[in-house]
């Protein structure tokens, strides 16, 4: 009886860990200080609501990873890819298709944007795909 209770508790703990994802924790610790928990930002940080305007525009996929706050976050390529897949789903209602992978993120984040505001403007004025 005692053994099976222990086994049940271990199984329960294991399933809780497996069901838990890192994305929200990673967002809270690395992004929410500037972007706020609801993505509203501040006077100097744009609201994530504006990401909808960029969705589907050529260059937005690359821009979202190369933006300095994302590119330079202290997260592995795997965790940043997962975070950005989660972030886009949450703030544009559409997960990136295909989803970001660690190797794509690794390549893009090597070159953080020097002029993210200018790059954003350039993408916005380009025609929709
Ligand atoms: C120190 C403040 C700061 C932190 C921390 C930060 N960001 Fe940002 N983020 C900004 C600013 C400022 C901008 C506007 C572009 C720029 O000037 O870099 C921005 C823009 C963005 C954009 C572009 C949004 C759009 O619509 O153009 C994305 C995506 C983004 N950040 C993701 C993240 C993610 C993901 C994290 C956490 C891993 C993060 N940021 C952490 C300040 C921050």
Q: What CATH number is associated with residue 75?
A: 1.10.760.10
The confidence score (pLDDT) of residue 8 equals 66
Place of tokens 């592995």: 76
Residue 11 lies in a domain: no
The confidence score (pLDDT) of residue 19 equals 45
The confidence score (pLDDT) of residue 50 equals 95
Burial class (CB in 10 A: 0-12, 13-18, 19+), 127: exposed
Q: How far apart are CA 12 and CA 65, in angstroms?
A: 36
Residue 53 lies in a domain: yes
Q: Ligand 1: residues within 6 Å at CB?
A: 30-31, 33-35, 44-46, 50-51, 54, 64, 67-70, 73, 83, 87, 116-117, 120
Residue 42 lies in a domain: yes
What's the average model confidence in pLDDT over 28-46? 96
Percent of the chain with pLDDT over 70: 83
What's the average model confidence in pLDDT over 11-30? 74
Q: Which structural domain range is residue 76 located in? A: 22-125
Predicted TM-score (pTM) of the model is 0.87
Q: What secondary structure, in 3-state letters, does 64-114 show?
A: HHHCHHHHCCCCCHHHHHHHHHHHHHHHHCCCCCCCCCHHHHHHHHCCCCC
Residue 111 lies in a domain: yes
Element spanning 15, H or E: helix 2-19
Q: How far apart are CA 99 and CA 95, in angstroms?
A: 7
Average pLDDT, whole number, for the chain? 90
The confidence score (pLDDT) of residue 21 equals 82
CB 60 within 8 A of CB 67: no
- Expressed in angstroms and rounded, the spacing between residue 34 Cα and the centre of ligand 1 is 7
Q: Is the pLDDT of residue 129 over 90?
A: no
Q: For residue 32, what is the DSSP state?
A: H
Condensed to tens digits (0 to 9), the pLDDT of residues 51-107 reads: 999 999 999 999 999 999 999 999 999 999 999 999 999 999 999 999 999 999 999
Q: Is the pLDDT of residue 24 over 80?
A: yes
Residue 60 lies in a domain: yes
Residue 4 lies in a domain: no
Residue 10 lies in a domain: no
Query: Which residue has its alpha carbon closest to ligand 1 atom 31?
Result: 69
For the chain, the domain total comes to 1
Residue 86 lies in a domain: yes
């Amino acid at each position: 009886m005692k053994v099976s209770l222990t086994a049940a508790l271990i199984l329960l703990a294991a399933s809780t860990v497996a069901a838990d994802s890192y994305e929200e924790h990673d967002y809270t610790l690395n992004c929410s200080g500037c972007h706020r928990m609801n993505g509203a930002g501040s006077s100097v940080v744009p609201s994530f609501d504006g990401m909808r305007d960029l969705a589907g525009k050529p260059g937005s996929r690359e821009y979202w990873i190369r933006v300095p706050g994302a590119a330079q976050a202290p997260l592995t390529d795997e965790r940043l890819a997962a975070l950005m897949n989660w972030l886009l789903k949450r703030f544009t209602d559409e997960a990136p298709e295909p989803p970001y992978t660690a190797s794509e993120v690794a390549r893009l984040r090597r070159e953080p944007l020097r002029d993210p505001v200018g790059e954003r403007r350039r993408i916005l004025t380009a025609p929709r795909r």
